[in-house]
Amino acid sequence: MSSFDWRSESAYDGVYRADTMEIAWEWLRRDGGYQEAYRGLTSAQRSSAVSADFRQQWGLSFRS
């Protein structure tokens, strides 16, 4: 079991310095549906650019 204490305020000190994209990524990477979809990708898809459909489905495309 993790030694992370979610009730401790000091465990979240980094959140105050995080920008919007960092928080969004932390949220997404913990999403069970995203984890399952990512595991469904082939290793070649993971190491190169994933499809536009995958990026759009999970909000991984950003306007510059």
Position 22 in a domain: yes
Q: Which amino acid is at 26?
A: E
Alpha-carbon distance 43 to 45, whole Å? 5
pLDDT for 37 equals 93
In whole angstroms, what is the distance from residue 36 CA to residue 54 CA? 12
Is 48 a domain residue? Answer: yes
Question: Residue 52's domain spans which residues?
Answer: 17-58
Is 8 a domain residue? Answer: no
Please give the chain's pLDDT, 64 residues, in tens.
567 787 888 878 878 888 988 888 889 989 999 999 999 988 888 878 788 888 889 988 766 5
Cut 0.75: pTM above it: no
Domain count, the chain: 1
- Whose tokens are 């549906």? That residue is 33
Residue 64 has a pLDDT of: 54
Q: Is residue 29 part of a domain?
A: yes
Q: Could you tell me the two tokens for 32?
A: 């069970």
Q: Can you give the pLDDT at residue 62? A: 67
Q: Is residue 41 part of a domain?
A: yes
In a domain, 5, yes or no: no
